[in-house]
Amino acid sequence: MKITGIQTVVVNALYRNWIFVKVLTDQPGLYGWGEATLEWKTRAVVSTVEDLAPIVVGQDPMRIEHVMARMNRMSFWPLGIIGMTAASGIEQALWDIKGKALGVPVWELLGGQVRDKVRVYTHLKRGAGGPASTDDIGAFCDAAQETVEMGYDAIKLGFVPYTGYDAPLQSVLHVEKLAEAVRERLGWTVEIMTDFHGRPQSIDAAKAYIDAIAPIKPLFVEEPIPPGDVRAMADLARRVQVPLATGERLLTPREYADLAESRAVTYIQPDLAHCGGFSGGRRIAAIAEAANMGVAPHNPMGPVAGAVALQFDAATPNFVIQEEIVGVVPWFEEVCSLYPLQLTDGSWQIPRHPGLGIEIDEAVAEKHPFEQEIILSLHATLADGTVANW
């Protein structure tokens, strides 16, 4: 069997263009889907898929590790976030092809099912309302309650404002009041996570906000400081009483090995659209398991990325919980004629169709062509005009 071509299908959704990658083979009707969505870098990723095609076309799609080695090593330059995202989308599509060719779900190829369902969490109103203001505590709590009533028992919220090297007292007190109000509204049967987005620029600023949130006992605080400084993250972890998580902006097993060696976080959050697909994700999960760290994969993207995450989670022993935003646009499920992401009691069910268990309806996709996304980070400034981390 040979790969004969690679195509991309770009679908404009809320705040993102989903980038679906379609790998074609010389076997009639046999092809695979992957997703290479990267916020605000759509044109670059699509062009990089085209750049990688000459390295991939003509290869056997069943030799997934071999094809990944070609994309990484024959590119000479480190792929970086844009290159790794393009390669991840291609890699996922190869697993879809292999599962279809062998007549089994991808999770069967990853070692088999290790759980009966996959617990998930979502964002405020599944992200469909855009970034929520924390100024109106009552309205924020209403939105959180509405989200839980959609069928979730876990939710991730953004409590922390744009922040620099200090944490202004009034801001800290407001975050404390907001967190307490949300916990009181949702009760103790709902897991709450909070994403700092790496906004605090110092350990002390991050600690001030974490200490304010600690009484509501979040499952984890995500990216409390910008990613990349493992020593600082490990130092922070030892100074607070809340589990920390990071990983959405990390790409390689080496980066995760540094986290594991220092026990810097409780949970790692690889995104299979950026870290090398299933191949990279499996290596990263194994590194985390050796360090007694759980895996809570990142995924605020489209239906193919969701299907990929579900297959991975079904077969990963140290999986904990999966991020998702199914329904972020009203036609989310229409773009798929097969759709495995069914929510029951706060969890996804294990899929049984071969491959990823998904099929893209390209006619529906064509109704939502590429558009320039709204770049939310353009608003990330402090009161004095300093550019902040989004």
Please give the positions annotated as active site: 197, 298
Render the burial of 370-385: b for 16+ CB within 10 Å, e for the rest. eeebeeeeeeeeeeee
Do 335 and 365 form a contact (C-beta atoms < 8 A)? yes
Tokens of 275: 């870290």
Measured distance CA(23)–CA(99) in Å, rounded: 14
3-state SS assignment for residue 323: strand
Q: From CA 48, how far away is CA 194, in angstroms rounded? A: 33
Within 8 A by CB and 6+ apart from 104, the residues are: 354
Contact between 316 and 114 under an 8 Å Cβ cutoff? The reply is yes
Sign of CA dihedral 78, 83, 85, 86: negative
387: its two tokens:
């550019």
Show the tokens assigned to 132: 């929520």
b/e sequence 31-47, b meaning 16+ C-beta within 10 Å: bbbbbbbbebbbeebbe
* Residue pair 304/360 in contact by the 8 Å Cβ criterion: yes
Is there a contact between 337 and 359 (Cβ–Cβ < 8 Å)?
Answer: yes
